[in-house]
Structure 1
Amino acid sequence: MAKLVALYKKPDDKAAFDSYYFSKHVPLAKKIPGLRAYEVSDGSVAIPLGESPFHLVALLSFDSLEAIQQGLASPEGAATAADLANFAGAGVDLLIFDTKAV
């Protein structure tokens, strides 16, 4: 299984972020071809020491890195990426990796 992790930094207006994210962005992202699962953090995002710079973490699962690349290159993936500018003004870090059980 391969993952795309989106680390959304704390916005100035958390309520506006959440409203847009869940009503507009999530429905767009769920249309990305090859997407197998979509999970988000529930509640505050913590780090072991100090205050976290993150408001929300999204974990998108795909069958492979190739499936992520194909999904992001699709019209639905492009629309989802373009939509980030509409609500993620504080910034977002995207991580893409393959996983294995250990």
Structure 2
Amino acid sequence: MHKLIVLYPEPTDRVAFEAYYRETHLPLCAKLPGVQSINFSLGVTPPGDGPYFGVFEASFADEAALSAAMSSPEGRAVEADVPNYATGGATVLTYPAVSYPVGA
């Protein structure tokens, strides 16, 4: 499995960010070819208390699937949309995820 993580610093306007993110950006993300799951959280810290306002996580089968998704027309649309809401910018990380068994 390969993960795509996006960390969002504090935006200029939290309410505007969240409305646009939920109504416009996440539906674009859901169209990424090969995406297996999407998770996100907004308002992870109170204003001024931390480095990040939000976090996004998407899972793909492998690095090739993530690369294909991001180079697709849908992936380019997702990337081009970020400046429309992320006034604080965004930090993007990708990595192979390794599962560790619990409860054994």
Q: Give the TM-score normalised by the residue count of structure 2.
A: 0.89
Corresponding residue for residue 7 of structure 1: 7
Q: Is the 8 A contact 2:44 2:53 kept in 1?
A: yes
Which stretch has the larger CA shift, 63-72 or 51-60? 51-60
Answer with 1 or 2: which has the greater Rg: 2
1:70 aligns with 2:68: yes
The gaps in structure 1 that reach 5 residues or longer are: none
Cα RMSD after superposing both structures: 1.6
Displacement of 1:101 in angstroms is: 2.0
Corresponding residue for residue 77 of structure 2: 79
Query: What is the rounded CA distance, in whole Å, between the counterparts of 1:43 and 1:77 in structure 2?
Result: 25
Q: Give the TM-score normalised by the residue count of structure 1.
A: 0.90
Segments ≥4 residues shifted beyond 4 Å = none
Question: Structure 1 vs Structure 2: percent identity of aligned residues?
Answer: 36
Query: What is the rounded CA distance, in whole Å, between the counterparts of 1:42 and 1:19 in structure 2?
Result: 11
